[in-house]
Structure formats: structure tokens, C-alpha cells
Chains A and B, each alone.
Chain A
Amino acid sequence: MIQVKNLHKGFNGQEILKGINYTFERGKTNLIIGQSGSGKSVFLKCMLGLFKADKGTIEYDGKPYSTFSDEEQRELRTEMGMLFQGGALFDSMTVEENVMFPLRMFTKQKKSEMLARVNEVLERVNLEGNGNKMPSEISGGMQKRVAIARAIVNKPKYLFCDEPNSGLDPQTATVIDNLIQELTVENDITTVLITHDMNSVLEIGERIAFLKDGLLAWKGTKEEIFKTDDASVTDFVYSSNLFQKVRKAQLKGL
């Protein structure tokens, strides 16, 4: 569980996050949605400790992360996994070396044990047999799955995903969404996922936080988001033609 209390963050005198209070629950996919510029990425980077909050606290299972020193934060980060928007795979390493990287850095396992774990997670993300390929030799969707494998290989307690579906076709995006949700439930981890993609909301939005202008404008579930009358949320959710048609059908009682 991650608890965020009264989080403020600004740059050059401009306040980006204006006092966010929210709790991310364990064993669930917690989505952060909102328009571009609403503060989602800053919020995520504050939670990861890549940005230092101006005010407020962030607690990981009761541990006051935001008040930790840089070294203490690094220690806790070994319990986190992160899926970056572009994958952020190390391009000088093979797929296998990328996935093995956290194990090499933080465990004292023998190479055979590490290889066994790497093969296990590669199989879990349906990439068995691709260990010797370089990141540049595989597709964008496969790169995302390698990044997921790397994020979960060291059995993290917390998984963060920054727009995992950007640049992917709808079919691959669904595969990635489902994979994230399955891993969350299987490993009972706290997953935080930033997205613009309403399909993701429909697929895996167990808990949703809607940010607007640096504030938490709405929170709820995927069932609730399509029933809310909150104008700021409906403007965002029904901005696409497809969802506008769904909305009209809803209003007509179809």
C-alpha cells in the first residue's frame, strides 16, 4: 500500500501538484488518468523519489519514503519495479542480460539460479527463446514485455507503469494490460499505472484517480467512472467518438 498525503510539487515558481491525497491499494491495479499536463508524470516521479516533493508525505507500507535520505530511498527502491513509457531497456545488453540485471545487482544467486529465474519470467511474458536477441532486434510490444519481465524479476512489492500502451496496437496493448493485471494479482503487489488510454481503464481500472490541474479531481472504479456526472471526468472520458456514442446509448437507456 502506498499512501500519499498533501503532496505538493512545483518548478520555477509554477505549482504542478497542489496537494494530492490518495491511497494506492495492494493487490490491485491503481490507475492515474488525466489530460497531458495534469501532473501525472510529476506525481509518479515524486512517488519514485526521482523528484523531491516540496510538501507532503509518501509512505510505502508505513515507511515514510519522502523523508528518507537518498541512500535510504535507493534501498527501498530495490523493492520497486518500473515499466517506462519507452521500455528503457539497456541497449548494450541482450534481452536475457536486461532481465538478469536486477538479480546481478541485488542478489547473491549463482548464475544458474539467475538464468532459471530469467527463463521463468521470460516464459511468463511469452518471450521464451528470445533471450539472446538485442533490444533493437525485437518489436515495440516485445520490448515492453521484456521491460515488464525486468521489472518483476526481483519480485518487487511495488510496480509502476508509465503509459505502458503508448505506441502499441490495440491488440498488443490489451495483452500488456492483462499481463500487468495478472502479475498484480499473482504476486499481490501494489501496481500504479499512468495512462491516457480509456481501453486500459475499461480493461484493468480497478481503482482510478483522475488528475486535473494538479489536483485529484475524482476517484473511483471503472464501473463508477462511466456513471459519474462530474463534468471534468466526463469531458475526459467521452472525448473520443467511440465513447461519445457509448454515452449517448447510455443516456438513451440502451
Chain B
Amino acid sequence: MTYLHSIGEYFLMLKGVFGRMTKGSVLKNLILKEIDDLIMGSLGIVAFLSFFIGAVVAIQTALNLNNPLIPKSLVAYAARQSVILEFAPTFISIIMAGKVGSFITSSIGSMRVTEQIDALEVMGINSKNYLIFPKIIAMLTYPFVIAISMFLGIAGAYSAAVLGGFVNSDQFISGLQDEFIPFHLTYAFIKTFLFAFILATVPAYHGYYMKGGALEVGEASTTSFVWTSVVLIITNYAVTQLLLS
């Protein structure tokens, strides 16, 4: 029953988010600030993780290719498929659930604890729209982060495979182009958009409806990370089943 109540409350929150809109000029500034906080602030860690994950995938694949009948170019093929289909969109989103999700939950939760959300409501402002809508719009730029992640993941794989002496550059480029299906990119970006919405709204729900004090803000951040990850994984499974099977 608690879960059903929470799911209902989440959808009611979404209805409120798209209710009475905040003044345009104010909203514009809020969106730009959220892009800076949520997207720009995450680029560093995303770039770092993507590069090294790509490198590790390439090394692992190369070390497991003992059969001389299997072409060396498979290293690049495996790295490309892993990075585009799962590592960039899904793995990075789980990392973002920890970084961006916790930030959203704790910032909104702190506002709840210190009555700042009540202050917005008393002023006649739709607090759900003011606080959550700019985050959703800012997260629409999240696919750019994932595109960068894909590029750096493959660049990492190239560096590790070629500089590590597992394959030469031509073999890697050949493997990278081998049996490329453009729809896989479409699939990856469709789920990235869905993940962006989840990353903005599930942590916002946990922050907005939290009760208690500073300790509960910490608990809400942890719960938010767990549930955002669960929703991401379930959505990933559903989208993959729908689009690829």
C-alpha cells in the first residue's frame, strides 16, 4: 500500500509540476542555473569514468581473444557495442543517480526542512513548478553528456587497445565500423531521454515529500539513490525489450 501511495503521489507531483507556470524571465534563469549545476558540473566525472571504462572493456576483450580465428578487430566492435548500448547510457545514469540525484534530493529536502517550500507556497508560487520543472528542462540536455561519454568511451578503448599493443589502429577502425547498426544509437538516445526524466523527477519526489530534519535529508538522499537506480534498471529492461527484441 505504501508503494502504491508513493507512486500515486509521484504522478500527482508531476501533474503539479506542469500546473501554474513560473514567470518566464525567472524560469529562464532557473533553467540556466540548473544546466550549470546538473549538467556542466557532471561533465568532469562523466568524462573521466567513460574514458577508463572504455579502456578496460578493450583490455578485457583483447585478453580474452585467444582463438586465432577470431579477428583482432573484434576488440573495437565489442567496445563500441558495450559503450553505446549500455555503459554510456545506463552505467553513467546510475552514477548520475548518485551525483545529480542526491544533489536534487538534498537541495529540495533542505528547503522543505527550513520551510522555504512553504514560503514559496504562501507567496502564491507553484513550488513544484518552480523547483522541479527547471530541473526537467535542464536534464533535456543530458543526451549531450551521454554523447560525450560515448565518444570518450570509444577513445579510451582506442587508446588502451592501440597504445597497449593489442591491435593496430587500422584493425581498431575497421572493427569500429563493422556491422554498425544506426538504430542502436537511436535506441541509446531514446532511453537516455527517459533516464533524464527519471533522474530529474524521482530524486525531486524524495526531496519534496520528505518529513523531518537534517538526519532525514540524508536518509532521503540514500533512499532516492536506491529508488532512482531501481527505476532506471526497470526502464532499461522495458525499453530494451520493446526496441531491440
Contact = CB atoms under 8 A, between A and B. Distances in A.
Given A88-B115, A88-B116, A90-B116, A82 B23 contact: no
Nearest to A84: B115
B116 to A, nearest CB: 5
B20 A82 contact: no
B40 to A, nearest CB: 17
Interface centre among B25, B118, B124 (most CB of A within 10 A): B124
A105 B23 contact: yes
A48 interface: yes
B152 to A, nearest CB: 31
A77 interface: yes
A56 interface: no
B134 to A, nearest CB: 13
B244 interface: no
A78 B26 contact: no
B119 A82 contact: yes
A102 B22 CA distance: 12
Nearest to B125: A105
Interface residues of B, number: 18
A33 interface: no
B115 A85 contact: yes
Contact of B121 (A76, A77, A86): A77
A254 B23 CA distance: 61
Contacts of A160: 122
Contact of B115 (A71, A86, A105): A86
Contact of B123 (A71, A86, A105): A105
Contacts of B114: 86, 88, 91
B85 to A, nearest CB: 38
B222 interface: no
Nearest to B107: A92
B42 interface: no
A50 interface: yes
A50 B122 contact: yes
A74 B115 contact: no
Contacts of A76: 124
B171 interface: no
A104 interface: yes
- 4 A-B pairs with the lowest CB-CB distances in the bound complex, closest first: A77-B124, A88-B115, A88-B119, A78-B124
